Structure 1
Amino acid sequence: MASLLNDMSDESPTNSGAETQSDTEPAGPDEKRQTLKCSGAQSSREDTNPDIPQMCGKSQVYNATTESLFSNKKSHPKPHVLSLERIYGMNPLLPVFTLQDHNQLVILYAGAHVGVIYNETLNSQHILQGHSQPISCMCVTEDRRWIATADQASESMVMIWDSYSGIPVNTLFDCHSDGGVIAMAFSRDAKHLVTLGAEQVQRVCIWDWTNETQSPLWATEVSPAYGFHNYIIFNANDSTQVLSSSTSHVLFYNTASGNLQCFSVDIKKVKKPMNARVKGKDSTKNSQHSQNVNLADVALSRSVFHWKEPQILTASGSNLMVCNVKEGRVANQCVLSDRVMIIPLQESLITVLTITDSCIVTGDSQGQIHFYDEKFGLLTVYSEFELDAIVSISFSKECAEGHLEDSTLEATPVISRSFVVSTVSSTVVHVDTQRSTARILLQEDYEPIHTVACHPNQPALAIGNQRGILKVWDYNKKVCIGRKVFETEKQIQCVTFDPKGIYLAVGFGSGAVHILNSKTLQSDPEERFHYTNESIHLVTFSSDSKYLATADTGGAVTVFCWQMNGGSLSHWTYLGRYRSHYKPIKDLLFGVHLDSTQPRLLSLGMDRRLVEYDLEHSDVNQLHILSSERIEQSAVPMCMTWYPPLTTEQFLLTASDQYKMKLYNTTTKMCRKTLLGPTYGSPIKQIVVLPKSKELETTPYYLAFITEDKVGFQMLPLDGNPYKSNAMVCHPTGVSAFACSPDRRLIFTVGRSDCMVLTWEINLNVLEAGANLGGKDLEPFFALLEGGRNGKFYQEIKDFFSFCRIRHQGIDFMENRQVSTKIPLSEVPALMRALAYFPTEQEIEEMQNEVKFSKYAETGEYVTDIDLGEFIKLYVNHRPAFGISSNEISQAFHVLGHSSSTGQPVLQSHQLLELLQGRGERMTEEEVTKCFATLLDLNDEEKDGKREHSVHDRMHSEDSGYSLEDAIPHEISVETFTSHIMSFPSPPE
């Protein structure tokens, strides 16, 4: 690593930022350290960016130049199912850095959990992808060669990247494990990196990042009395000095003595305000002498080291605080003076403070950029660009060539660097200081985005945000081709194109629905509907584009139809509205009736009901219901779609919050198959079958889905094989919607709170390869059993399966037995219970129907038995994905019982018996008695030569006065129920 830095110093452009910088590049770290090999990436855990092909013996980092990143764009297929291709949006809270400003204009900014190197000249992006949580801070070296990114995850990490090649060269794992990293900075010679943690008791660590060690060189804690610090910086002239700041304190750190020492600037000791020496415009304003300035209660913002004087400069409101740093008694030991001076610089609040080319630069809340000389005299002001509050200012590493010399009598610095400014409204502007011109590089709408939709025939992507702004992007050319701001409506919740691409329907949080022309984004006033005050969160067209249906948060479905009045008088009209669900509607779906072209409409709600609407017999203000069926017992359905024609039957596919996917016959609504769905941390919330490839009709079908924070794919047909799915984090703070391009080349995901739209390139060949590596036949399902095929649990399954065969023939059967590899369906429930899975009666019926009708459509015959392999598939698909947790049982007691004197939920014995016999799948008294007799071991036993009667006999004997309540505890807690009655094993410590 060290020799790499030394060699790179000969290639890198020289940075002449501050006057004190030497003419040559500073020497790299110790040359005895190991150099980077192959791709240059080093990591103690795993390869952070597998996209980079390994070229042993030739370092891509060493040979990279400023032109490498965008001139060598790789055309080979990506090695992942999903690869980030483009990001729409940025995080305005983090700074934007200019990386190149000579032949090409290249900037760096953050978007969600990735860094983006954006080449504005080529309109191209390179994504720095490696974090699983949003990036909390970034920094770059002075020569713009190295980039550092960090996050605030529970297992936070810092990644250092080569900006020339885009390759990660080092990763610091768990450097601030309690809260992540809130700020960091490189030293001027790029040898050290300082990180500031976000822990309760913050830590400051200085790392030799070019070394392979995972421990800092120095570290110290920051007392909570100094406030929460969120900014840190090295002294450009002395890498042994660091400062950090909070809204109330500035801390000075020094490593000259061999350890990291900390000193505080006491702003309450402000005694001596002073005048600013100014010149040029605004001189009258800045020369006013402040006689009484009290900063004890004013929030501090940014701090920097003066490039020439031993001073710390801190912005506070519209003033500048100056604290002198003087040499202490110990050699090389610097301490702070006990007096702070104040300079009233300007009227607006200072939001950015930085140093460049012997100039002090400020950005303020009014979007103005001020330049001051070393004596705090005003040089120039950029105020004509009409910007809002400045977040960051980053100067080019290249000075302008051929700039005019200063013509004044007194020599003053000439502003010779262009710079990039970012604002709180996600606007990034490039300022050419020689021409005094500004050009907007990025102008994003930093608002929550809830919806996205793809045009069915064209490369157009519609995006709607919370402010009521609708944008349409050409995702091939990466340009915005349409924009509409709704003046009267806000909060766009859903958008969709009709199947012909003529209309674009928009649903709003106010309950309004607008139907727009997809090309002009204009709408007829008569096609702006407002029939509810509930937020519209689902909107969909029928396949013939004659019906439009919406679902609102009030559990109601509204239908609009295309009224054919002849000629140009045809328009959209209101058909009817029906409150068909008493809980939120999760999905709304149009289809076509079997053996017909007539559309059908279904809605699925959290009330577990699947409702179908009678469109044929509905009339204006009279939307009729065709059927309403409860399809789940305890699971909550999350979404649905039509299953592709992979079988003779037609199915409706649903996904639930219990990680299960189910196939329902589209006519009878009978559950025909239950399958284990993808288990990636949270349940599936939306599913879409990818469009069939027009070029290759033989290509298989795939299912795209999103969970709470991931996007993924599932191979079809469904069978529960875990290796047939793949997912990755797309929006760590939550994904709200997604859409797929009609050529199934790209998929677009929308972040709920990060205000980003991510474009992913799809490579389904990788998914197929992963499925093949998972094994064939039963091998993937053995992996779902505890211990696998060679484990004890699988042997128990085989033993129980054999016992069921014997039991079916009769235990007392003395004749020669006929050996069979199958058991009848009637034995399946007992075998499931023997394996500690206790299905309900409805689940048993669904299991038996699944097997019974599995071949009926093809053969016309029922299946009455099942072999071991089929049973294993049935077992792993039907059992709970993660078992039953103690939290679920505790929650049930909270709902059904009452609090005891200790505050714990309990049930009285008579309450439990009443619930079992009166709620859900009601049990008879005899069934309850039999279950408790088995659980509590109360059956007939021989004791001391006398036969003890079972609890059932004692309850039914005359004048016994004995009841089941006498056999179970009077007050049942969660612990009593799990340990004493159910005999569940105790959880491990």
Structure 2
Amino acid sequence: MLPDLTWNHGYSIHGESKGPCGKVRTALGHHALPRYPRGFWRSLFPTTKNLFSPQSLSWALGYNSSLAVHSMEDGMLLYVCAHTVVIHDVLGSRQYHLQGHANAVSCLCVSEDRRWVATADQGPDPLVIVWDAFSGIPVRTIFGSHTGSGVCAIAISQDAKCLVTISAGMVQRVCVWRWTYPDESPVCDVELSPQFGFQDFVIFNPQNPNEFVSNSKTQVIFYLWTGEPAPSTDPPLLSRQTFGSAVGHFTQSAFHFNATQALTGTSAGKVVVWDVERKRGLAKEPQGRLHGMKATKLVPMQEESLTVLMALESCIVTGDVRGQVKFYNGHLQLLACYDHSGAGPIRSISFSKAPADPPGASSTSSQPFTARNFILSTSGATVLRVVTDGTDFEKVMEEAKKAVTAIACHPRQAWLAMGSHCGLLKVWDYQQHQLLMSRIFPNAGIQCLSYDPAGSFLAAGFTDGTVHVLDAISLLLCCEVFRFSRGPITHIHFSHDSEYLATADEKYAVTVYKRVLQNERRCWEHLAGLHSHYKPIRSILFGIQLDGSEPRLLSLGEDRQLIEYDLSSSSKDQLVVLHRHRVEQAAVPLCLAWYPQFSTESFILTANSCYKMKLYNATTKMCRKTLLGPTYGSPLEKMQILPKSAAQPQKHYLAYITKDKVGLQIMPIDGNPHKSSAFICHPDGASDLAVSYDARCIFTAGGSDRTVLKWEVNLNALEAAASLGGEDLVPFYRLLEGGQDGEFFRELEDYFYYVQLHSYGIDMPETRQVSKYIPLEEIPSVMRAMGFYPSEEEQMCNIKFSEYVDTGEQVTKINLGDFIKLYINHRPAFGLSMKTIQRAFQVLGYDNENGDKVTDRGDLLSLLQCRGDQPLAGNKHCVQISQDIRL
């Protein structure tokens, strides 16, 4: 049972801690937190590649600038990228990744000796993980710590034995964990009243692991989780009248090294000093226990807002919105100041690890002021290394301040272009891990990027609707800035010969630019634009005419229209539409790609919101196949065919992103789920996808998490996983309820054989020569008998043209194995949901006396037979099946 916790007058929580006290215990056994030599990380982390994963994270660009950056040792940083914690060896140009969270990491802390790293997240099934930073091994995972909300603040005690977490819910919960013990519950916890504000910062007392402090913008709370419970009273508010001047919002708190006081920084540039409130008549409290803290002073430090406040050995350190770092003694008298005004507001300060004490040295001996080198991170996503024995500071990282929504790979070099909404454009060498060139566009954000096929130009679409064509090396403009779109540019692409450049924008318009020569320089000029869609455009795609080398252009929109444009007939200010085709009936198409040439017939590949992928004839736009796509939590958002690999030139693969995952798919696509894989890349949403020219790497952009991740591709592992899933029909049998030995499969066989008998005549007296096939015309009947009711728009019988291009003959029959594949690929990926049925009754039904939507059985049958697809009304087998419906 958890101990009782109560409030007292001095912002403190008291409770009794149960459980043995002793040395810290972990999965690695007892330890005394030893010090390790510099470079220990480099020798412990594994250097071999992951041989068993189809794609593995190899590098992370950018970081979460709302969280702290920690200095593990000189040249070694620790920070958060989306759901991954990165240990970055800046000097050795290497990264080590701590992966275990499924949600974006919301907070982290590091032990004093840099041995232990604790991380927590927010989202579904939040986790708290404690890592051994020297090996990257998670030594403790706490499940269900703050279910439903996650963690917004975390701290680790000076002796590294205890953790404190604060939930991110409306009613916050504070928990203390002895993470080295196997207990599944915290040693004590308490719920905070909403009147104390949202507590988003917490820190332990370095001199007493049983004390910690947290603060919101308006309240500071002190906690003591040992001793006897104290009487419960409401803590007073700290207001303007307390000191007769404006206090401002609280930012961070710290315990003073004098063992009785605590400090809190404010947005008004002041520091609140807290001290122990003692009982009357007692000069000294028994056992030094606190009976409350009281605000005793408000010390004006400066005019600028304080963003960081911390105690370091014998100094108080502050950081502010101007980029200044100041050191004070115990009486808050200024000792030193480091001004980095160009860096922006300071988010965190992390000092290099304290050197080991020399033999015979006393930890209490007075030492002159000597500050250690420190790492400075700003809210503007800049990380600086400051050397305190001089005025030198170096910029370690400068990343995007806002969402990263655009990435593009150079078609011939190991270069990656990245654009963000803050206008930052960077070109990065992803083999050498070096920045090649960067440029800031201050007036608008970059929304999309594309290299031309030769790699000489880089086209950028901006949020203000402008289009820039830049030199790929210098990033300088090659021609005028185009301003022909009324909304942000969402897609931009070059044709295969760079003759055309096409864009799509948020106003549902497609704009085309044509190449011209100006002053003997290659350039582009505006040709024409057209509002061809009435819903958002999901993809634009250039291709090559089948009977020549002329480019062709297609666009796909959420209005379910696949539109091809006649570029050769288009003229100035007139973009001609060659063909419009409706590609979906109920689902929403999401992305588009050219299907590799596996036969003499050419196809266009689409993916929709119902987890289906469809193949359309590139000329007639007839749907030739419907296939089950990857089903990893959300449909495909973008996809790209990998270039042919030198190691496997005869095989083709598809890279894709869903809402939060990146994956690979073996081609040709047949609906086999074992031919695809996916991993979480950006829990808050992936915004873009790019593939390296040599098919060895996939890059994903995280949008709001401001990061880009590099994934190394291991196609052999993907092929091995597909082989382990079974061959031929084995993977499809497993997708049937009960498998091949289940009742569903036997029922399917019975219907299949009944149709065989029916096609040869039920009343035939002579011996039948029954084959293994049924006519294609009977496919809808068997499907509906199995509980799947495809509409005529499903065009399931189009498989009769599957061999026409190669043989000139139509397929007229289908066997059981192919029928099972057809059923698996066409039926709803997750069955018919209750939500879908309720929506149908909202349309078809009427209100009864209870206010529920209902319909008569006869009316429903009439709708199915007369108002649905007309061929259904004339099919006697379907009518018979419809009459067997149980309402």
Instruction: Calculate the TM-score normalised by the size of structure 1.
Output: 0.81
Q: Which has the larger radius of gyration?
A: 1
Is the alpha carbon distance of 1:269 and 1:622 closer, same or farther for their aligned partners in structure 2, counting shifts above 3 Å? closer
2:812 is aligned with 1:864: yes
Q: Give CA-to-partner distance per residue, 1:757-791, whole Å, 9 cap, x none.
A: 11111111111111111111111001111111121
1:382 to 331, 334, 338: 338
Distance in 2 between the 1:232 and 1:430 partners? 25
Is the alpha carbon distance of 1:347 and 1:797 closer, same or farther for their aligned partners in structure 2, counting shifts above 3 Å? same
Letter in 2 for 1:530: R
Consecutive unaligned residues of structure 2, counting only runs of 5 or more, are 1-19, 280-284, 359-365
Q: How does 1:120-139 map to 2 (within 5 A)?
A: 120-139=90-109
CA contact (8 A) 1:400 1:416 kept: no
Q: Give CA-to-partner distance per residue, 1:326-369, whole Å, 9 cap, x none.
A: 56666553211555322222222111110002111111122211
Distance in 2 between the 1:33 and 1:337 partners? 33
1:715 to 666, 685, 701: 666
CA shift for structure 1 position 932: 8.8
Distance in 2 between the 1:266 and 1:833 partners? 70
Is the alpha carbon distance of 1:338 and 1:548 closer, same or farther for their aligned partners in structure 2, counting shifts above 3 Å? closer
Q: How does 1:475-514 map to 2 (within 5 A)?
A: 475-487=430-442, 489-514=443-468
Partner of 1:341: 297
Partner of 2:225: 255
Partner of 1:21: none
CA shift for structure 1 position 62: 10
Distance in 2 between the 1:861 and 1:399 partners? 82
1:307 to 251, 257, 263: 257
Q: How does 1:635-714 map to 2 (within 5 A)?
A: 635-694=587-646, 696-698=648-650, 700-714=651-665
Distance in 1 between the 2:707 and 2:230 partners? 40
Distance in 2 between the 1:358 and 1:112 partners? 35
CA contact (8 A) 2:479 2:524 kept: no
Letter in 2 for 1:500: A
Give aligned-pair identity as a percent.
Answer: 44
Partner of 2:375: 420
CA shift for structure 1 position 585: 1.7
2:713 to 750, 762, 769: 762
Is the alpha carbon distance of 1:532 and 1:76 closer, same or farther for their aligned partners in structure 2, counting shifts above 3 Å? closer
CA contact (8 A) 2:639 2:689 kept: no
2:800 is aligned with 1:835: no
Partner of 2:55: 82
CA shift for structure 1 position 933: 9.2
CA contact (8 A) 2:277 2:294 kept: no
CA contact (8 A) 1:272 1:342 kept: no
Distance in 2 between the 1:816 and 1:898 partners? 53
Partner of 2:41: 69
Q: How does 1:552-563 map to 2 (within 5 A)?
A: 552-563=505-516
Is the alpha carbon distance of 1:219 and 1:750 closer, same or farther for their aligned partners in structure 2, counting shifts above 3 Å? same
2:849 is aligned with 1:849: no
Q: After alignment, is 789-798 or 719-728 more displaced?
A: 789-798
CA contact (8 A) 1:916 1:922 kept: no
Distance in 1 between the 2:55 and 2:234 partners? 49
2:486 is aligned with 1:536: no
Partner of 1:46: none
Distance in 2 between the 1:384 and 1:33 partners? 42
Consecutive unaligned residues of structure 1, counting only runs of 5 or more, are 1-27, 41-58, 274-291, 403-410, 938-981, 985-989
Instruction: Calculate the TM-score normalised by the size of structure 2.
Output: 0.90
Partner of 2:886: 983
2:845 is aligned with 1:890: no
Q: Give CA-to-partner distance per residue, 1:597-617, whole Å, 9 cap, x none.
A: 121111112221221111222
Q: How does 1:914-925 map to 2 (within 5 A)?
A: 921=869
2:204 to 220, 228, 234: 234
Partner of 2:390: 435
Q: How does 1:278-289 map to 2 (within 5 A)?
A: none
Q: Give CA-to-partner distance per residue, 1:279-313, whole Å, 9 cap, x none.
A: xxxxxxxxxxxxx3354xx3222111111141121
Is the alpha carbon distance of 1:446 and 1:626 closer, same or farther for their aligned partners in structure 2, counting shifts above 3 Å? same
Any idea what SS the aligned residue of 1:775 has?
Answer: coil
Aligned-residue Cα RMSD (Å) equals 3.1
Partner of 2:579: 627
Is the alpha carbon distance of 1:564 and 1:910 closer, same or farther for their aligned partners in structure 2, counting shifts above 3 Å? farther
Any idea what SS the aligned residue of 1:830 has?
Answer: helix
CA contact (8 A) 1:469 1:484 kept: yes
Distance in 1 between the 2:301 and 2:377 partners? 22
Is the alpha carbon distance of 1:834 and 1:239 closer, same or farther for their aligned partners in structure 2, counting shifts above 3 Å? same
Is the alpha carbon distance of 1:169 and 1:364 closer, same or farther for their aligned partners in structure 2, counting shifts above 3 Å? same
Distance in 2 between the 1:141 and 1:263 partners? 34
Letter in 1 for 2:68: P
Letter in 2 for 1:652: I
CA contact (8 A) 2:308 2:349 kept: yes
Any idea what SS the aligned residue of 2:745 has?
Answer: helix
Partner of 2:361: none
Distance in 2 between the 1:446 and 1:32 partners? 40
Distance in 1 between the 2:692 and 2:142 partners? 38
2:111 to 141, 145, 149: 141
CA contact (8 A) 1:712 1:725 kept: yes
2:3 is aligned with 1:100: no
Distance in 2 between the 1:661 and 1:262 partners? 63
Distance in 1 between the 2:758 and 2:101 partners? 56
CA shift for structure 1 position 592: 1.2
Q: After alignment, is 823-832 or 385-394 more displaced?
A: 385-394
Partner of 2:269: 318
CA shift for structure 1 position 270: 8.6
CA contact (8 A) 2:861 2:883 kept: no
Is the alpha carbon distance of 1:628 and 1:782 closer, same or farther for their aligned partners in structure 2, counting shifts above 3 Å? same
Distance in 2 between the 1:928 and 1:857 partners? 30
CA shift for structure 1 position 271: 8.2
Letter in 2 for 1:505: A
Partner of 1:359: 315
CA contact (8 A) 1:269 1:340 kept: no
CA shift for structure 1 position 732: 0.7
Letter in 2 for 1:787: G
2:825 is aligned with 1:877: yes
Distance in 1 between the 2:546 and 2:427 partners? 36
Is the alpha carbon distance of 1:34 and 1:76 closer, same or farther for their aligned partners in structure 2, counting shifts above 3 Å? closer
Q: After alignment, is 784-793 or 532-541 more displaced?
A: 532-541
Partner of 1:733: 684
2:94 is aligned with 1:115: no
CA contact (8 A) 1:252 1:263 kept: no
CA shift for structure 1 position 662: 0.9
Q: Give CA-to-partner distance per residue, 1:25-65, whole Å, 9 cap, x none.
A: xxx9746957528xx9xxxxxxxxxxxxxxxxxx9x99986
Any idea what SS the aligned residue of 1:739 has?
Answer: strand
Letter in 2 for 1:550: T
Partner of 2:167: 197
Any idea what SS the aligned residue of 1:416 has?
Answer: coil
Is the alpha carbon distance of 1:837 and 1:35 closer, same or farther for their aligned partners in structure 2, counting shifts above 3 Å? closer
Any idea what SS the aligned residue of 1:335 has?
Answer: coil
Partner of 2:4: none
Distance in 2 between the 1:228 and 1:543 partners? 55
CA contact (8 A) 2:24 2:180 kept: no
Distance in 2 between the 1:901 and 1:468 partners? 60
Q: After alignment, is 390-399 or 684-693 more displaced?
A: 390-399
Distance in 2 between the 1:897 and 1:612 partners? 40
CA shift for structure 1 position 650: 1.1
Letter in 1 for 2:778: E
CA contact (8 A) 2:516 2:525 kept: yes
Any idea what SS the aligned residue of 1:200 has?
Answer: coil
Distance in 1 between the 2:226 and 2:367 partners? 34
Q: After alignment, is 69-78 or 721-730 more displaced?
A: 69-78
Q: Give CA-to-partner distance per residue, 1:135-154, whole Å, 9 cap, x none.
A: 11100011111111110122
Letter in 1 for 2:567: L
Distance in 2 between the 1:63 and 1:257 partners? 33
Letter in 2 for 1:518: A
